[in-house]
Amino acid sequence: MIRMQFRWRRALCGAGLLAGLACGPAPDFALLSPTERPPPRAQLRGVIFEGYAAGTRELVVRAASAEVDPGQRLVELDSVRISFRDPARGQVRIKAERAEFRLDNDDFVLHDRVEGSTAEGERFTTAHVRYEQAAQRLWTDQPVRLYRDNLVVEGEGMEIDLETRKIRLTGSVQARVVPE
């Protein structure tokens, strides 16, 4: 198992990644001469990424496997579980079959059978969810189904503000009560 503490774009670079060591900013492959090639693709198993801000762990990403393509500056993950931690507001957890993020920023996209939950008891399902680090939000423009107790709410999209832990469904929204 490989464990790394990092900001996304700084962690996954070349041999340092394979050794599990911290590394500086990712290299700028545009500066390579025509005879130089970016590092080869790397395949990893049992990967854990930890994201920190102001010395506090905000984010933990676990994946069964990861494939790093330094040339495309892309990381693809399989069997992904993500936890956004906040002692005051509780956790938001998401799992998906696949995820990908670009090494150029701290954002990512989760695909295929996305399921999530909040500390307040809401659960949701959708086809994909995007995470925008700068805005501290998760969002999708795909149909979403939200569950809470015996209430099911469906919408054409969703946004979760990670600062406030508020969920907003977008588009045409329908709700129904499910007998217990």
**Helix, strand, or coil here: 13?**
coil
Token pair belonging to 10 = 């700084």
* Structural domain contains residue 36: no
pLDDT at 28: 54
* Structural domain contains residue 106: yes
Token pair belonging to 167 = 């969920």
pTM assigned to the model: 0.72
* Structural domain contains residue 113: yes
Tell me how many domains the chain contains: 1
**What's 115's domain CATH number?**
2.60.450.10
* Structural domain contains residue 128: yes
pLDDT at 45: 94
Q: What is the pLDDT along the chain (180 residues), one digit of tens a residue?
A: 333 433 433 344 333 343 333 344 455 555 555 567 767 888 989 998 887 776 667 788 999 999 999 888 889 999 999 998 877 778 899 999 999 987 777 788 999 999 999 988 899 999 999 998 888 899 999 999 999 989 999 999 999 998 888 899 999 999 999 887
Domain housing 123: 2-29+42-136
141-166 burial string, b = 16+ CB within 10 Å, else e? Answer: eeebebeeeeeebebebbbbebeebe
